[in-house]
Amino acid sequence: MESDKNRFRRNSDQSGRPRISSGQSRATKLVIFFAITVLLLGALVIRLIYIVKVHGTEYQKAVLQNQAYDSVVLPFKRGDIVDRSGTVLATSEKVYNMVIDASVMLTYEDDRYFEPTLRALGECFPADVIDVSQIRYYVTNNENSKYYVVAKRLSYSDIQPFLAVQEENDFVRGVYFEDEYKRVYPNKNLASTVLGFTRKNSNAEGQYGLEEYYDNILTGTNGREYGYQNDDDTLERTVKPAIDGYTIHTTIDANIQKIVEKYLKDFNDTHMNAVRTGNGAENLGCIIMDVNSGEILAMANYPDYDPNDYKNITPLIGTQLIEAYTNPAGYIEYETTDTPITQELIYSLSEDQLNVNFSSLWKNYCISNTYEPGSTAKPFTVAAALESGAITGNEVYTCNGYLEVGGHKIKCHTYASGGDGAVSVQDSIAWSCNVALMKIGQAMGKESFSRFQKVFNFGLKTNIDLAGESRTASLVYDAKDMLPSDLATNTFGQNFNVTMIQMITGFSALINGGYYYEPHMVSKITNAGGATIENIEPRVLKQVISESTSEKLRQYTRATVMEEGGERRTGKTARPAGYAIGGKTGTAETLPRGNKEYVVSFMGYAPADDPQIAIYVVVDRPNAAKQDDAKFATGIVRNILTEALPYLGIYMTEELSEKEIKELEEKQLENTYRFGENSENGESTGEEKKEEFVTEGTIVDPTGEAANIYPKWMTYPIDPATGYRVNPDNGEKYDASTGELVEDVNESMGLEVPVNGNLGTSQRQDTSGH
């Protein structure tokens, strides 16, 4: 250093000389150059400080977020949906996606990993799952690719052989598996419209039903596996586990659900293609509710679908084609056409057309579709009149077959035979007399009637915990808009629309002492470990009628089915052998009036002396020449209750006829055990109930010879004109195949009154849509 300084001085001494020193010039330039280097490096230091001071926090965050880039997502498992006894209705199965890391496969140029890996893939997977030549093509053309999904949703048994090879052969590299969950509905179609499904059967995005309504409960949180560098400079992994979704415990009883679906399907298969091409009815719906809690025990409709394969077109075949069109106001509307979807037609449909029809298929008829309830509304009218004091229950009305209201002649279904004559309040329900109901309505007045419609929640959502419940606010009358003829037709359930869930929830309140329970599907939410997160208790929203009114309603509706209602009672075919039940039939004419299309239904409760359950069956436009026959619905109710009541442990109270004993003996061997078990599995409560049931049957059957008795109706000759077997003694007609008594009673009334304009399109296809 010292010598440097000396030299520098010497240079400056020389600078006085009058000659241009090249050495001096270049020294100056060198100093300038060195100064620039220091300046530039100094500028970069300032730049560094600027980056850290101004963007430090932001970049730090970005790095922490970026760690996701180097981390593996651990998918959560979507929560299960189980029935009230724990039977799994929906669950998620772990599946595996195969990922190829081309850069690892091609680590060495001699292909020491590549070839053995391809060979192992070829040996361990069938050619239709893994196309080795395609992988070879991809890897050789994308040598830097680190992530390429080759196959999706392989099961563990699919990949197990390959994992074993990978374990023992060090040269098999560059293939790994990512976890995923696949939604599985082990019982296929069972409760499909109640459950809904998830998009692409994935972990998330529940669609329709419980899957949609409880989507955020069922959805968990993804976990992560992070890679980080420890102090020894090696990569360690830390795991933040996924939080699985919660399991929801529904109030559904899979056994009852199965019974219900069996008989809906039965009905459909029996009536399919009867008079028109297509299903046995446009829609079939059934709800069974616990009247004392609002819990839904079963809810089903037909057609249904398999949520495992919800885009399968098979269930669409037999339904009526629905077309979307844009109305003059610019809104998209849907119209059910008269064209049935056939095998041939379906392949000619566009993607959009199919989607319109799928969204109708996936809807839950029991909550999403609205229709005119018909005579099943009569108990509500009578209850309202009793509760408001307009009638006492002791009135007697005279029915001449019609009533003139506001210039319209509104008929009773007995119009042709000259009317019912003297009709008590009980008879008005039991015989389903429109004239008596219209008179009761007039006694109440429209304000009172309309107020009670609100009390019974018509026009309001029930807020059941399912996605897609329809709004009906515009589909009922306000008192101020109601003409006398509107009031008249409303009293017997025409000219306003309801959903099935509104009807059965209100009916349960009429029966149970007046307590209106919020209908619900889920009773408990548990976490993946089984700990209870939330208990959902039954919730009474209001008392709609008094206990004394309720008692009268139980009496009237019992008379509809049981003998005290007399020969003209409309619901006797709904009674299951051995039980006393109450209920009400309904036959509603659809729009446009006079097209001979009907929605027939039966709404009932059992047992009659101590109501436990309510059942409501709707048959929307049965595939029959004469649609206006409530027996389409009562037959289904009878079949369902015959199996469901013993299963529920409800004792028989009525004597069994020999025919009934035979029928029960044929039936009891199946389906009286709990769902998911076989009949040999003796421990379950279902088995105990079955034994009780057998005991009951044995007592009533003193001879034990019932099985040998030939049903009497089978001996009657067939009437060639009608196809019925006719009793030569009294002219009673019997269905030739089922032996059911064919009633002449006809509830249709040929309404010739103004129609609620709002019902127009929604009658055939609910536009509120889901």
Partner 1 sequence: MATTAENVSKFTSKQLKRVSRMGFDWNMVLIIIFLLGFGLIMVYSASSYRAARDYGGNATYFLSRQAIADLLGIAVAVFAMFIPLKLFSKGWIPWIMYAIAFTLPLLTIPFGISSHGASRWIEIPGTGFNIQPAEISKAAMIIFMAVWLTAHKNSINTWKTFGITMALPLPVCGVIYLVTDNLSSAIIIFAISFIMVFLASRDYLKFLAVIGVVGVIGIIVIAYVQNADISEDGFRLARIYSWLHPENSSDSKAHQVIQSLYAIGNGGVWGRGLGQSIQKISNLPEPHNDMIFSVICEELGIVGAITLIIMYILLLSRIFFIARDTKDMYSFLVVSGIMAHVFVQVVMHIAVTTNSMPNTGVSLPFISYGGSSALLLLAEMGLVLGVNRTNRTEVRK
* Residues within the interface to partner 1 (CB under 8 A): 3-4, 7, 20, 22, 25-27, 29-30, 33-34, 37-38, 40-41, 44-45, 47-49, 51-52, 55-60, 62-63, 66-67, 69-70, 104, 107, 227-229, 231, 233-235
> CB 52 → partner 1: shortest distance, Å?
5
Distances (CA, A) of 8 to 3, 5, 27, 31: 9, 5, 10, 12
> CB 112 → partner 1: shortest distance, Å?
10
Query: Parallel, antiparallel, or unpaired for β 247-250 and 522-526?
Result: antiparallel
Residue in 490, 644, 659, 505 with CA at minimum distance from that of residue 581:
644
Residue (56 or 711) nearer to partner 1, CB: 56
Write the burial class of residue 322 (CB in 10 Å: 0-12 exposed, 13-18 middle, 19+ buried).
buried
Residue (144 or 730) nearer to partner 1, CB: 144
> CB 123 → partner 1: shortest distance, Å?
24
Residue (4 or 729) nearer to partner 1, CB: 4
- Please report, as a single letter, which amino acid is at residue 174: G
The residue whose two tokens read 């548990």 is 526
> CB 55 → partner 1: shortest distance, Å?
5
Helices within 473-574 (DSSP H only): 484-491, 500-511, 547-561
- Cα gap 510→291, rounded to integer Å: 9
Residue (20 or 531) nearer to partner 1, CB: 20
> CB 255 → partner 1: shortest distance, Å?
54
Residue in 304, 744, 252 with CA at minimum distance from that of residue 521:
252
Residue (147 or 156) nearer to partner 1, CB: 147
> CB 21 → partner 1: shortest distance, Å?
10
- Cα gap 630→746, rounded to integer Å: 9
Residue in 201, 218, 186 with CA at minimum distance from that of residue 90:
186
Residue (15 or 234) nearer to partner 1, CB: 234
What pairs with residue 239 in β-bridges?
225
Residue (60 or 337) nearer to partner 1, CB: 60
* Structure tokens belonging to residue 305: 């679908």
Q: 3-class SS at 373?
A: coil
- Cα gap 98→177, rounded to integer Å: 5
> CB 40 → partner 1: shortest distance, Å?
5
* Structure tokens belonging to residue 434: 């429109």
Question: Where on the phi/psi map is residue 671: left (φ > 0), alpha (ψ -120 to 50), or beta?
Answer: left
Query: Parallel, antiparallel, or unpaired for β 81-82 and 247-250?
Result: parallel
Residue (45 or 416) nearer to partner 1, CB: 45
> CB 9 → partner 1: shortest distance, Å?
13
> CB 294 → partner 1: shortest distance, Å?
55
Residue (30 or 332) nearer to partner 1, CB: 30
Q: Answer for the pair 465, 196: CB distance below 8 angstroms, yes or no.
A: no
Instruction: Give just the sign of the alpha carbon dihedral 107, 111, 116, 122.
Output: positive
Residue (41 or 625) nearer to partner 1, CB: 41
> CB 59 → partner 1: shortest distance, Å?
2
